[in-house]
Amino acid sequence: MDGLDWNAALAALAWQVDLGVTEAICDAPVNRYELVAAQPVPKATAVAVATVALDPAAAADPVEEARRAAAAATDLGSLRDAMAAYEHCDLKRGARNTVFCDGNASARLMLIGEAPGREEDAAGRPFVGRAGQLLDRMFAAIGIARTSPDPAGALYITNVMPWRPPQNRDPSAEEVAMMTPFLERHVELAAPDLIVVMGNTACSAVLGRTGITRLRGRWAEAWGRPVMPMCHPAYLLRNPEAKREAWADLLELKARLSA
Residue 57 scores a pLDDT above 50 = no
**Residue 136 within a domain:** yes
pLDDT in tens, 119-139: 999 999 999 999 999 999 999
**Mean pLDDT, rounded, for 207-231:** 96
Higher-confidence position of 116 and 41: 116
Find the domain containing 124 and state its range.
Answer: 62-258
Distance CA 117, CA 96 (A): 11
What was the pLDDT predicted at 10?
72
Residue 59 scores a pLDDT above 70 = no
**Residue 214 within a domain:** yes
**Residue 101 within a domain:** yes
What was the pLDDT predicted at 202?
97
Residue 99 scores a pLDDT above 70 = yes
Higher-confidence position of 196 and 49: 196
**Mean pLDDT, rounded, for 225-239:** 97
Residue 58 scores a pLDDT above 50 = no
**Mean pLDDT, rounded, for 6-10:** 72
Distance CA 62, CA 50 (A): 20
**Residue 3 within a domain:** no
Q: What are phi and psi of 230, to 5 degrees?
A: -140, 155
Residue 144 scores a pLDDT above 50 = yes
The band of 29, judged by pLDDT with boundaries at 50, 70 and 90, is: low
The total of structural domains in the chain comes to: 1
Higher-confidence position of 11 and 36: 11
**Residue 33 within a domain:** no
What was the pLDDT predicted at 24?
66
What was the pLDDT predicted at 223?
97
**Residue 227 within a domain:** yes
CATH number of the domain enclosing 173: 3.40.470.10
Q: What average pLDDT is seen over the chain?
A: 89
The structure's pTM equals 0.78
- DSSP letter, residue 27: S
Range with the poorest average pLDDT among 40-54, 88-102, 115-129, 187-201: 40-54
What was the pLDDT predicted at 60?
78
pLDDT in tens, 171-183: 999 999 999 999 9
pLDDT in tens, 73-82: 999 999 999 9
**Residue 119 within a domain:** yes
**Contact status, residue 66 vs residue 88, Cβ threshold 8 Å:** yes
**Residue 109 within a domain:** yes
Distant-in-sequence, close-in-space partners of 202: CB < 8 Å, separation ≥ 6: 112, 113, 114, 159, 160, 229
- Alpha carbon distances (Å) from 169 to 28, 47, 119: 25, 37, 15
What residue type is 226 in one-letter code? P
